[in-house]
Structure 1
Amino acid sequence: MLKRTISMTAAGAALVVAAVAGCGSNVQPIQVKLAAAEVLTQAARKTAQVTSYTVDAVVNVKHPQQGGGKMQGRMVYQSQPQLAADLTLDTVDMAGRSLPGGARAVLQGDTLYVKVSALQDLLGSSKPWIKVPLTEQGGSTEVRQLLDQIQRFDLGNMTQLVTASQDVKAVGTESVNGEDATHYSGTFPVDVAVQQLPADRQEQARKGLAEMEDVAFDIWVAADGLPRKLAMNGSKQGATLDATLLFKDFNKAVSIEAPPADQVGELPQSAPTN
């Protein structure tokens, strides 16, 4: 049961953060006459420089055997002075199992703090938070995969993926969170897109996209060349993925702090997994 609970938390968090963790500054206004493909190329370069941002995300998945699932949450991210993220999942529902009260995870460097009521009850802990040192050899594989997702996936990578599109086109100008942004629409083949990423990130990218064959996307890029909204959907043999992410507060100062020490318990080295 412990493994399943942690797995649900990590899987849900991974779905949300797979598209969001990492990004920078020194941006300049894009040229309105650029071709759609060139806008995406420039966006990929600019997002790779972002050092902090906030993202609101909704992810829906469906599998013919495992059923459907929904994640909805928000994450604040920074890459400097150290890697840190504060992720709140208000809705976690995977394959018919839900986490009452949702979940929260705070990453600070090599340490992950997880707050899940079901996990706290299962461990019989009086502390609301569980500390997971990610540098140790022991611990949960699922939680380690969450760190891997946070470290390896970033907005720059996601915009790099959409540059593989051969049919992207501008479809108009719209307002996103009160900002004017140009709306681009297209598709990209997953196998071709992930080959543009470093070799050690390609397999994780495929998993983050639920191993879809082709993905349709819509991306809204503001005048500074940074995406404000990204929507993706794809399907394969009855499995579907539908994700919408809204980005804001690029390069603004953030405060991501570990929970108070007196509220943190340790994850047991050996715990029930059934």
Structure 2
Amino acid sequence: MSPSGSESPSASPTTTAEPATALQDALTKSAEAKTASGSMHFTSKGKIDARGTWARQNEPRLLTAKVNQLTLNGKPNPAQPQIIVNGDNALVNGGGLIPNQGNTWWRVPLDNLPGERGKMISDLLTSGRLQDPATIKEIAAAHKDVQNEGEEEVGGQTVTHYSSSLDTQEAAQAAGLPTPTASPGNWPKTLRVDTWVDSSGMVKRQQFRNEEGGQPFNLNLTVKDYDKPVTVQTPPADQVKEVDQQTLKNLLGE
């Protein structure tokens, strides 16, 4: 199977390639789509349960995510935080989660984030490399022990389920990013990844699990649409202000 974006094959990736190649091709081909959008679900050790939507657009570069349903420490929270990444700037609104923010959106210059964590976020979001199919293909090679787990159903479609382990340090190097410091309190060395691929070789769902140390988490991303227009409602100019450095350090835990 070729990630060239040509006409989708009728055969399942299960029958056209061994698991590691099929997974790499699917991740690359999916990254070639001009747009993608879907739903997300993040959980962390019973402390956070967040459900919402996400969307990306390659040209011009745009990423957005919004939480629509939030539970913190087992209690429902009405906050609906949202982030819009547009080029080298992010617009952040806590939606009631950040004290004293109100309806104000913070404009965060991504090329000047403080600390090691800020540097990594900056490199991830401003370089555009994570939306570059060539980079995605390199990162896909960091998936180890890829296994074909058989056919399942996602969103009413029959898909092929692949399991793998993602070496985060190797993935960072493949993307040309600073190698994260792997530690239980900072960043896991390995993520368990499950990927579901449809018969046309496109990713329909991915699940990332950190099972290391004291900060396990689970992130599910489901794709609803590829190559359909992405509409993002940006806030009026009078609701946007620059974030101060101390607030930024607090947000990043620096």
Q: TM-score, normalised by structure 1?
A: 0.68
Give yes or no for contact 1:27–1:225 (8 Å, CA) kept in 2. no
Give the equivalent residue in structure 1 for 2:201. Answer: 225
- Does residue 1:74 correspond to 2:53, yes or no? yes
Give yes or no for contact 1:47–1:155 (8 Å, CA) kept in 2. no
Give yes or no for contact 2:107–2:241 (8 Å, CA) kept in 1. yes
- Does residue 1:60 correspond to 2:43, yes or no? yes
Give yes or no for contact 2:80–2:97 (8 Å, CA) kept in 1. no
Give the equivalent residue in structure 2 for 1:28. Answer: 8
Distance apart, 1:212 and its partner CA: 2.1
One-letter amino acid of the structure 2 residue matched with residue 179 of structure 1: Q
Give yes or no for contact 1:69–1:94 (8 Å, CA) kept in 2. yes
User: Is the alpha carbon distance of 1:148 and 1:26 closer, same or farther for their aligned partners in structure 2, counting shifts above 3 Å?
Assistant: farther
**Separation (CA, whole Å) in 2 of partners of 1:95 and 1:150:** 29
Distance apart, 1:210 and its partner CA: 5.8
1:107-157 Cα shifts (integer Å, max 9, x gaps) = 33344332224477615x6xx2324152786x8878887565434545956
Unaligned runs of 5+ in 1: 1-23
Distance apart, 1:103 and its partner CA: 0.6
- Does residue 1:215 correspond to 2:194, yes or no? no
Give the equivalent residue in structure 2 for 1:198. Answer: 175
Unaligned runs of 5+ in 2: none
Give the equivalent residue in structure 2 for 1:239. Answer: 215
Give the equivalent residue in structure 2 for 1:48. Answer: 31
Give yes or no for contact 1:131–1:266 (8 Å, CA) kept in 2. yes
1:134-186 Cα shifts (integer Å, max 9, x gaps) = 2786x887888756543454595677545434432222212211222111123
- Does residue 1:179 correspond to 2:162, yes or no? no
**Separation (CA, whole Å) in 1 of partners of 2:69 and 2:58:** 26
Give yes or no for contact 1:174–1:183 (8 Å, CA) kept in 2. yes
**Separation (CA, whole Å) in 2 of partners of 1:184 and 1:76:** 23
Aligned pairs, how many?
238
**Separation (CA, whole Å) in 1 of partners of 2:110 and 2:172:** 28
User: Is the alpha carbon distance of 1:198 and 1:192 closer, same or farther for their aligned partners in structure 2, counting shifts above 3 Å?
Assistant: closer
